[in-house]
Amino acid sequence: MVKEEKIKFVDGKGITRIETVPDQQKLDRHKNLEYYKDILYQCGKCGTCRTGYQEEGWFRVCPSGEFGKFEAYYLGGKNLISWGITSGRLDWTENLANIFYQCSVCLACIQQCQIPEIHNYAGEWLMAFREEAVKKGFGPMPEQKKYTDHISKEHNPYMEKHKDRTNWITSNIKQSPNAKLIYFVGCTTSYREKSVAIATAEILNSLQIDFRIFKDEQCCGSPVYMTGQTEKAKKIAETNVDFFKNEGIEKIITSCAGCYRTLKETYPKKFGLDHGIEILHLPEFIQEKLKNNEIKFNNNLNMKTTYHDPCHIGRHMGIYEPPREVLNSIPGIELIEMPRNKQNAWCCGSGGGVRSAFKDLSSFAANERIEEAKETTAEAIVSCCPFCLNQFKTNIKNDEIKTFDLSELINKAIKS
Amino acid sequence: MNNSSIVAELGKIVGDRYVSEEPEIQFLYHYDFITAEPEGKCDIAIMPETAEEVQEIVKIANKYKIPIVPWVSGINFGSIATPRKGGIVVDLRRMNRVLEVNEDDMYALIEGGTTWADFKGYLDKHHPNFRAGVTFSPPGTGVIPSCLCYGMFDLGMLGGTGAEFLNGLEVILPTGELIRAGSCSLTDYWYGRQPLPDISGLFIGWEGTTGIVTKAAIKIWPKLPYRTDFLPFAARVEDGVPMLLKLSKAGLGIVDLLMTNMGWAQSLQCFDQKSVAIDPVSLGLPDFIGLITTEAYTEEQHKAQCDAIKKICREYGIEPLTADVQVRNFPKSMRGVLGHIFPITGGQMPIQFWGCWNFTRGGGGEWIGCYNSTRNIIKYYDLSREICLKHGKSPQYYCRIMFGGHYCVTRTNVNFNKNDPEDIKKTRQILKEIHDAVQKLEGTIMYKPPKWVVQHHKDKTLPETRNLIERIKKFLDPNNIMNPGQGIGDD
């Protein structure tokens, strides 16, 4: 027995302990709103979803709610509005859809909720609601529709020409035409963050990996799927999977968090496209190489950094450690965590179609994260998602802090 | 009433994005979303950022004689923030700043919409040696509303109800004037309500019907370095209550002193309805679960306090095991959120388990919760237990000894499935029966009362007292716009 008189006052951590809750219902994922209707009313709008409860402090976690302010923009409000819709208490309106689209689906909210079915499945009905909005003709938002139309013509959401997709490839990048491994570059990297593509390709060359890049690579479908346009996204996915199969691809490495999640999770689990291809996010691949002592770093980068968890590999896929391990292994890199990290990381505000349709919300989220990063005294925000990187670059003012993709730092450290 | 023109006028005060008459926004203010009380109706929702903006909103409400309801989270066991007569809901959550912490006089000055999460988060970060007494309510609920409605804290033995933690108030009257109550009315210090006429009483216990509180000073307390939470079990409630009452008169650094029955503990374990034992006593389970929290400044002092507590418990044949030991005795998969309560098991309040514990996963819960004489603790339990069992509901009982043992709180929670109209109907019947039964015990007064209980209060209050209350309400709120349909002053 503990000698209680020796126990000093210890501040509690208030950490999520959902695993201690009995009688948890096991539900299917990726279902429609109707499927989840008997769970939604469990929410009491208690507000737990708004705040992270960690030893380092208690902090707000929801960009949508902190920007929109009204309860409807927090998870609790969305749960109960969904209940209102499925129980006939509320009607669909344009504004209703608008509220649900003002969310980057970062899922920081569900990490906090202690009701197991909401903790485990709220992300499903947030997506199901968008899917339903599209069916009812209230979604997607006009800007999202515009980029979707462009994807159908030019296979990217950036209003760029498909023929220009691989313009970033420089003559020094060596490819193996018959490789079974491809580097899936993604739209953002191809058109907006070419340095990430170059760095990734150069890393693969340095490691003497046989790989190739599809000249006809197309959008993975993530921006279409995340805005509730499931059928259109599925068609994109089918095209891509057919292409992979025809080319005999066995392994895909991508430097994009969104592409990774879509290829690895959405294609098989949502669309039923069991492609059987191994999908790796670049930090996972590098982590493996580090374990096998197959990477030699030649340069000391001498930099204080902080790491921003992209939602698409963090909360969506559970990848928190590989990027940190890689970052910590680079000579001269010091990693200082932001208070809101890993499961509780504050979203950069670019995902879920928010950056195209709700620019004010998107900038609000980015600026909050940039301020948090600056408070760590780090010189640079490092992430491993080109969309996060681009968001930071767009919102950082006067070079107040630098920002890099992890691939860029790895490449700098490797180069001899 | 042309809502759109009023919305346009209100938009000029707070900005268009912080005022809404859209049905999706209104929907979340129509309901309490917890209780079995009927829904209300919100016509316009608005989120001001300053006291001056609140003043302007109140003036517009007076101009059009439309109801106005102060609101922070809208959840409480009496649905007292549910708009009963339509009108404007003033959601204060943009006013959520901690404005000042005075460590010398140990108070924090906070804005009207500050939530427990905001408050605790701020104190932990900026004043880590101090803490607020906090409620069992979830972190998203409001600090000031809780205090104004006699909510109670985990320092209840030390400081009494939330109302007793209030040092002073800044209030926008129903006629739009800004007033201050307490030392802050004539100095920059908010150290207390003494020695002036205590006009805070015009706003405490009135359920938001006499004004909108835009600032309040709340007492904070030092975190003493030594703390132990004892969690003694006994077979029956009547076995443990005399022990609690003796402890309440023994000093011993006890800051919190309470008990629950096994029904309440089961809900902390977060069982779904299908797994809840309706009558744990019939299964031979212990029905008294006490909580004794003691704090001290030195190790020697703490040891002496703990030894004395254990001695008193053993006089009643009860072994006071500590909370961490008791929690560890539960298999991990059956602990639910028990561990969330105690710092020693990693928990801290306010606690993030609202949806689980109170509602056994049906989303609904309501209580008959009363301030009471300590003489009624066992009798209250027996009456409410019998009624719950008659209706096939597990009785969930909870009692907290308050303010050095000067009075107590007794309450019985009833869970229900808020998606099931029959269960809601049954719950309303149980609540009515419990209320009527416990009123036979002199000294039992419900707090945060729903509308149907308010009528009972009116009927029972001395006629002259009731007349005075109604005259005060009319004086303060001549147009009867402030949260009409709620509170004892409503006609």
Q: Which of residues 9-28 of B touch A (CB under 8 A)?
A: 17-18, 20, 22-25, 27-28
Q: Hey, are the CB atoms on A22 and B354 less than 8 Å from each other?
A: no
Say what percent of chain A tops pLDDT 70.
96
Tens of pLDDT, residues B7-38: 999 999 999 999 999 999 999 999 998 899 99
Q: Which of residues 290-349 of B touch A (CB under 8 A)?
A: 295, 299, 302-303, 306-307, 321-322, 324-325, 332-337, 339-340, 342-348
* Residue B319 vs residues B116, B312, B313, B316: alpha-carbon distances, Å: 34, 10, 6, 9
Distance from CA of A114 to the nearest CA of B (A): 6
Best CA proximity match to B155, nearest among B56, B221, B213: B221
At residue B467, φ and ψ (nearest 5 deg) are -60, -40
Neighbours of A341 (CB within 10 A): 20
Annotation: CATH topology of A152-289 = Rossmann fold (3.40.50)
pLDDT greater than 50 at residue B461: yes
Best CA proximity match to B352, nearest among A79, A78, A110: A110
DSSP B446: E
- Rounded to an integer, the average pLDDT of B461-473 is 96
Q: Hey, are the CB atoms on B336 and A21 less than 8 Å from each other?
A: yes
* Residue A257 vs residues A113, A160, A284, A314, B298: alpha-carbon distances, Å: 25, 21, 11, 9, 53
The Cβ-side half-sphere exposure at A85, using a 13 Å CA radius, reads 25
Please give chain A's pLDDT, 416 residues, in tens.
333 444 455 555 555 566 777 888 899 999 999 999 988 988 988 898 998 887 777 889 999 999 999 999 999 999 999 999 999 999 999 999 999 999 999 999 998 888 888 989 999 999 999 999 999 999 999 999 999 999 999 999 999 999 999 999 999 999 999 999 999 999 999 999 999 999 999 999 999 999 999 999 999 999 999 999 999 999 999 999 999 999 999 999 999 999 999 999 999 999 999 999 999 999 999 999 999 999 999 999 999 999 999 999 999 999 999 999 999 999 999 999 999 999 999 999 999 999 999 999 999 999 999 999 999 999 999 999 999 999 999 999 999 999 999 999 999 999 97
Does residue B475 or residue B136 have the better pLDDT? Answer: B475
| Per-residue pLDDT at A12 | 55
Question: If you measure CA to CA, which chain A residue comes closest to B308?
Answer: A5
B349 backbone φψ class: left, alpha, beta (φ>0; ψ -120 to 50): beta
Give contacts of B125 with chain A, Cβ < 8 Å.
Answer: 57
Q: Which of A6, A39, A45 to mutate to test the interface with B (most CBs of B within 10 A)?
A: A45
Q: Residue A307 in contact with residue A327, Cβ under 8 Å?
A: yes
User: Is CATH 3.40.50.150 the right assignment for the domain spanning B98-222?
Assistant: no
Q: Hey, are the CB atoms on A77 and B23 less than 8 Å from each other?
A: no
The Cβ-side half-sphere exposure at A335, using a 13 Å CA radius, reads 19
Amino acid symbol at A72: A
Q: Please report which helix (H) or strand (E) contains residue B214, including its range.
A: strand B212-222
- Rounded to an integer, the average pLDDT of B116-140 is 89
Tens of pLDDT, residues B292-308: 999 999 999 999 999 99
- Rounded to an integer, the average pLDDT of B447-472 is 94
Which sequence spans correspond to the domains of chain B? 3-91, 98-222, 226-446
Burial of B205 (0-12, 13-18, 19+ CB in 10 A): middle
| Per-residue pLDDT at A151 | 98
Question: If you measure CA to CA, which chain B residue comes closest to A72?
Answer: B25
Which ipTM did the prediction report? Answer: 0.94
Burial of A312 (0-12, 13-18, 19+ CB in 10 A): buried
Amino acid symbol at A248: G
| Per-residue pLDDT at A6 | 44
SS3 labels along chain A = CCCHHHCECCCCCCCCCHHHCCCCCCCCCCCCHHHHHHHHCCCCCCCHHHEEEECCEEEECCHHHHHHCCHHHCHHHHHHHHHHHHCCCCCCCHHHHHHHHCCCCCCHHHHHCCCHHHHHHHHHHHHHHHHHHHHHCCCCCHHHHHHHHHHHHHCCCCCCCHHHCCCCCCCCCCCCCCCCEEEECCHHHHHCCHHHHHHHHHHHHHCCCCCECCCCCCCCCHHHHCCCCHHHHHHHHHHHHHHHHHCCCCEEEECCHHHHHHHHHHHHHHCCCCCCCEEEEHHHHHHHHHHCCCCCCCCCCCEEEEECCCCCCCCCCCCCHHHHHHHHHCCCEEECCCCCCHHHCCCCCCCCCHHHHCHHHHHHHHHHHHHHHHHCCCCEEEECCHHHHHHHHHHCCCCCCEEEEHHHHHHHHHCC
Give contacts of B24 with chain A, Cβ < 8 Å.
Answer: 72, 81, 90, 93, 95-96, 99
* A–B CB contacts, 8 A cutoff, strictly below: 218
**Domain with residues A298-414, CATH architecture:** 3-Layer(aba) Sandwich (3.40)
Q: Hey, are the CB atoms on B18 and A69 less than 8 Å from each other?
A: yes
Give contacts of A70 with chain B, Cβ < 8 Å.
Answer: 20, 25, 28, 45, 47, 91
Residues sharing a CB contact under 8 Å with residue B29, sequence separation 6 or more, in sequence order:
A71, B40, B42, B45, B71, B74, B83, B89, B91
Q: Hey, are the CB atoms on A93 and B140 less than 8 Å from each other?
A: no
pLDDT greater than 80 at residue B337: no
Is the four-CA dihedral A273, A278, A282, A284 of positive or negative sign? positive
| Per-residue pLDDT at A5 | 41
Does residue B267 or residue A317 have the better pLDDT? Answer: A317
Give contacts of B418 with chain A, Cβ < 8 Å.
Answer: 41
| Per-residue pLDDT at A20 | 77
Instruction: Confirm whether B3-91 and B226-446 share one CATH topology.
Output: no
Give contacts of A117 with chain B, Cβ < 8 Å.
Answer: 361
CA distance B236 to B264: 14
Class of domain B3-91: alpha beta
Annotation: CATH topology of B226-446 = Vanillyl-alcohol Oxidase; Chain A, domain 3 (3.40.462)
| Per-residue pLDDT at B380 | 98
| Per-residue pLDDT at B353 | 62
Residues sharing a CB contact under 8 Å with residue B267, sequence separation 6 or more, in sequence order:
B276, B356, B357, B358, B360, B396, B413, B415
CATH 3.40.50.1860 residue ranges of chain A are 152-289
Question: If you measure CA to CA, which chain A residue comes closest to B365?
Answer: A44
Full-model pTM: 0.95
B140 touching A, CB under 8 A?
Answer: yes
Beta-bridge mates of residue A181: A251
Among A9, A46, A47, beta carbon nearest to B295: A9
Q: Which of residues 395-434 of B touch A (CB under 8 A)?
A: 417-419
CA distance B213 to B190: 15
Q: Please report which helix (H) or strand (E) contains residue B13, including its range.
A: helix B3-14
Token pair in block for residue B283: 């299964």
Give contacts of B334 with chain A, Cβ < 8 Å.
Answer: 20, 22
Say what percent of chain B tops pLDDT 90.
81
Residues sharing a CB contact under 8 Å with residue B296, sequence separation 6 or more, in sequence order:
B224, B225, B226, B227, B253, B302, B305
Tens of pLDDT, residues B352-403: 665 555 556 788 889 999 999 999 999 999 999 999 999 999 999 999 999 9
